[in-house]
Amino acid sequence: MERVDNSAAAGTGTNWTFPSAGDNYFTWEYGNGRDRLLSLYQKGKDKQWDSTTRIDWDIEVDPFDALGTPENTLALYGSNQYNKLNQRERQEMRRHMASWEFSQFLHGEQGAMITSARIVQSVPDLDSKFYAATQVMDEARHAEIFSRFLDEKIGMQYRINPNLQALLGDALNDSRWDMPYLGMQVLIEGLALAAFGILRDKTDKPLPKQILAYVMQDEARHVAFGRLALRDYYAQLTSKEIAEREEFVVEGCYLMRDRFRMQEVWENLGYDMDECMEYMNKGPRMRAFRSLLFTRIVPCVKDIGLWGPAVKKAYADMGVLDMANSDLVKLMASDEAQAELLDREREAERLREQQELADRVAEVDDAIAAGAAE
């Protein structure tokens, strides 16, 4: 597989290492737990699935149109740079964009796997440890899926985006047990869930639609987990401690907003960087896209109690303050329902194909029987 080396990413070679911060936390209180988290833990166990059997990997994918998104939704569409490209160059751009997007999903899922394992170690409550343990398996499955899609279907992979890497490093380097929760469960997972949903709804290709719908079914539980655990904990903190978390949220949200400018793609394709970044920062499609990216984060941040003036000012600056009124529970329920609907549609199609085959076999048998009778 071709690997695109965006040198801004930290680390040497194929590895990134740093010491872990914080304490390992054991508890000997085994009998009690919060009903909501224990129910989520049970749901996490019930909803485990195997990506090798649930996803139809035999579907062929054109690497130059892997996602099938409409042309007028592409980030650079309408820019002078885009208008200069011929058909072959536009196809190559699509391949790089799909590779970059799914590569960042892959890196984020590995980060989520490591962060979930860290949460198992450091969170004080046993019910949270139980659920986080199921999430480690979920994230391993997601990383496996995105890696396979990139390897087998696109044949190209980008290194981690520096903004995503910075937020992962900040969350994992903090010794306070709740910070990996906040960085991953609320910010990174919340933004990823919105990005998955945008692509899921735009793509007309069955394989990426399956991947995104089924991953989102898991991610809806993960965001719910972060909300439940942090809302209870933050209600006990001092105003100074809350202000520290709000500062982290503001910095993290700016990193996540700027993450999707795809600078590495335009650099690797040799585009006019000044023109591309100007269009990505101010173009109408990216402004709308960035707003949609915060549909899960903003109401979640408000729900867990990090809703001071600094946070609201930052969201107003980003143009996403109105997202605070989004019904997060309804959004999560919709994500889960769409995955279940896709399963039912695929099963109905499978049964229809079986019936058509049986009908054809019966027709042939009848024809043979009629011929023999003559």
pLDDT, tens only, 139-170: 999 999 999 999 999 999 999 999 889 888 88
Predicted confidence (pLDDT) per residue in 197-218, tens digit:
989 999 999 999 999 999 999 9
- Which amino acid, residue 132? A
Per-residue model confidence (pLDDT) at position 374: 66
What letter would DSSP give residue 326?
S
Hey, is 106 helix, strand or coil? helix
- Which amino acid, residue 75? A
Q: Which helix (H) or strand (E) holds 157?
A: strand 156-158
**Per CATH, which fold does 2-7+37-345 belong to?**
Ribonucleotide Reductase, subunit A (1.10.620)
Query: What distance lies between CA 279 and its chain's CA centroid?
Result: 24
Per-residue model confidence (pLDDT) at position 5: 65
pTM (whole model) above 0.85: yes
The pLDDT tens digits along the chain (374 residues) read: 777 865 545 554 678 887 777 788 888 887 777 887 888 889 889 999 999 999 999 999 999 999 998 998 888 999 999 999 999 999 999 999 999 999 999 999 999 999 999 989 988 888 888 989 999 999 999 999 999 999 999 999 999 999 889 888 888 888 888 998 898 888 888 888 888 998 999 999 999 999 999 999 998 888 888 788 888 899 999 999 999 999 999 999 988 877 778 999 999 999 999 999 999 888 777 777 777 788 889 999 999 999 999 999 999 998 899 989 888 888 888 888 999 999 999 999 989 989 888 888 888 877 787 777 76
Query: What distance lies between CA 250 and its chain's CA centroid?
Result: 20
Per-residue model confidence (pLDDT) at position 6: 59
What letter would DSSP give residue 159?
P
Rounded distance, CA 111 to CA 108, Å?
Answer: 5
Burial class of 297 by CB neighbour count within 10 A (0 to 12, 13 to 18, 19+): buried
Residues 211 and 102 sit within 8 Å (Cβ to Cβ): no
Residues 116 and 26 sit within 8 Å (Cβ to Cβ): no
Per-residue model confidence (pLDDT) at position 259: 77
Rounded distance, CA 139 to CA 121, Å?
Answer: 16
Dihedral, 46, 48, 53, 54 alpha carbons, nearest 10: 80
Start-end of H helices in 150-238: 162-172, 178-180, 189-202, 206-234
